[in-house]
């Protein structure tokens, strides 16, 4: 990781503001879950979707394992089983529940997990108050906060899947604006060819996958100022986009056929009318809203149908200063690969990003579910090309 020191050990004010920030980020996770019922907390309808209860515990386990157990003298783990239950994918740390089995964890019950959160929060706050944390410790806590913000977005997409796949379409929050952004930009931005710097440079936090500023040659290109809306995508559907192999990658076409896909996730045609499930409920599609829940195959097929393409992640980053991004994650035409100077950190933290750099595509930007300020123009999100359940949309390039 790479960041400035948000706390100088002799500055109690900045230490207090760091503690306040820690508390605020942690509280938002609980707040997101506060609108759920007890039964919603446990289900795992597909392997990719983790139970909300698991997110609450796993984000806590991160601080317990990487900070308190590692650095706080006399720290007693809350429950010795939790390492096995709530480790996500860290082989350095040890064995764990299979991802697909997270929904089997009816125990520990949610109230115990809430006590776990409170216990870790109080131990961590105490640790910060009573010691002069080292740069390494501060960086781990900061990473834990950024990790928790990522899980907040996953929580919202997982909650949407859990409720949206329920035949009664229960609402999450009638006032939610997370997945109902309206697009009001039009036209294309032209970028001149040249050599451009790519990667994070600055004094704030960034993930290791953004580091190693390097140069990339970009040819002349144009990039849409707007994200694709439901109206535009429905044209593709109605024109038989899902019935014609010629728009699709071979893998994408196999995916369409095998799963009998007719539309993006959470979209339904009912009595001739397009409907969708959003976090604010089951409702008519508003055509001007930003399309979400397409996978990479769909994004690429739509672009091909339009006679255009997706931007590469480098083109996106070069254009980003002049784009109003942040309404949906944007699939790029770039495979998720290490930058030329990428380094894998020592120990478990080194498992955070590097080992996922195969068979996934990069998404850039942010969505309405992203923690405010969490993303930046060098931020690299990534998912497997077949996955639709994130707030992922399309920006065209040519
Ligand atoms: Fe995680």
pLDDT tens-place string over residues 351-365: 888 999 999 999 999
How buried is residue 248: exposed, middle or buried, by Cβ count under 10 Å (0-12/13-18/19+)? Answer: buried
Is 10 a residue whose pLDDT tops 80?
no
Task: Give 66 Cα–ligand 1 centroid separation in angstroms.
Answer: 12
Q: Is the pLDDT of residue 167 over 60?
A: yes
Pairing of strands 214-218, 194-198: antiparallel
Does 123 score more than 60 pLDDT?
yes
pLDDT digits (tens, 9 = 90+) for 63-99: 999 999 999 999 999 999 999 999 998 989 999 999 9
pTM, two decimals, is: 0.95
Is the confidence at residue 8, as pLDDT, over 50?
no
Band of residue 11 on the pLDDT scale cut at 50, 70, 90: low
pLDDT given for residue 159 in this prediction? 98
Over residues 255-312, the pLDDT tens digits come to 999 999 999 999 999 999 999 999 999 999 999 999 999 999 999 999 999 999 999 9
Per-residue pLDDT tens over the stretch 224-261: 999 999 999 999 999 999 999 999 999 999 999 999 99
What separation in Å is there between the alpha carbon of 304 and the centre of ligand 1? Answer: 35
Give mean pLDDT, residues 327-331.
Answer: 98
- The Å distance, Cα 90 to ligand 1 centre, comes to 9
Ligand 1 centroid vs 168 CA: distance in angstroms?
30
Considering the chain, what percentage of its residues have pLDDT values greater than 90? Answer: 93
How many angstroms is it from 58 CA to the middle of ligand 1?
7
Ligand 1 center–CA 385 separation, angstroms:
20
Distance 59 CA to ligand 1 centre (A): 6
Give pLDDT, residue 382: 98
Average pLDDT over residues 200-205: 94
| Distance in Å from the first CA to the final CA of the chain | 35
Q: 11 vs 72, which has greater pLDDT?
A: 72
Is residue 9 scored above 70 in pLDDT? no
């Amino acid at each position: 990781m790479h960041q400035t020191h948000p706390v100088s050990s002799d500055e109690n004010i900045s230490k207090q503001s760091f503690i306040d920030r820690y508390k605020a980020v942690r509280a938002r996770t609980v707040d997101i879950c506060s609108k759920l019922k007890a039964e919603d907390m446990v289900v795992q309808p597909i392997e990719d979707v983790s139970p909300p209860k698991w997110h609450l515990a796993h984000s806590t386990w991160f601080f317990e394992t990487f900070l308190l157990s590692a650095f706080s003298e006399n720290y007693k783990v809350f429950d010795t089983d939790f390492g096995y239950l709530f480790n996500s994918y860290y082989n350095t740390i040890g064995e764990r529940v299979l991802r697909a089995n997270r929904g089997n964890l009816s125990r520990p019950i949610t109230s115990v997990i809430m006590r776990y959160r409170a216990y870790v929060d109080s131990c961590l706050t105490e640790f910060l108050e009573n010691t002069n944390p080292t740069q390494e410790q501060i960086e781990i806590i900061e990473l834990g906060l950024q990790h928790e913000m990522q899980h907040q977005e996953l929580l919202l997409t997982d909650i949407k899947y859990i409720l949206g796949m329920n035949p009664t379409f229960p609402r999450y929050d009638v006032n939610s604006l997370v997945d109902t952004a309206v697009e009001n930009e039009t036209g294309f931005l032209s970028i001149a060819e040249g050599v451009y710097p790519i990667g994070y440079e600055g004094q704030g936090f960034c993930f290791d996958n953004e580091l190693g500023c390097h140069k990339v040659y970009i040819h002349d290109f144009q990039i849409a100022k707007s994200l694709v809306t439901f109206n535009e995508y429905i044209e593709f559907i109605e024109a038989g986009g899902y019935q014609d192999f010629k728009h699709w990658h071979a893998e994408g076409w196999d995916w369409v056929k095998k799963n009998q896909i007719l539309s993006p996730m959470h979209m339904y045609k009912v009595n001739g009318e397009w409907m969708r499930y959003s976090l604010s409920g089951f409702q008519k599609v508003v055509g001007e809203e930003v399309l979400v829940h397409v996978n990479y195959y769909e994004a690429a097929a739509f672009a091909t149908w339009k006679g255009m393409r997706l931007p590469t992640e480098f083109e996106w980053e070069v254009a980003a200063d002049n784009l109003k991004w942040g309404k949906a994650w944007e699939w790029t035409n770039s495979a998720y690969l290490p930058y030329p100077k990428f380094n894998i950190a020592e120990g478990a933290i080194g498992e955070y990003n590097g080992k996922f750099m195969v068979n996934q595509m990069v998404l850039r930007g942010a969505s309405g579910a992203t923690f405010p300020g969490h993303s930046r123009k060098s931020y690299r999100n990534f998912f497997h090309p077949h996955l639709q359940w994130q707030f992922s949309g399309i920006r065209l390039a040519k």
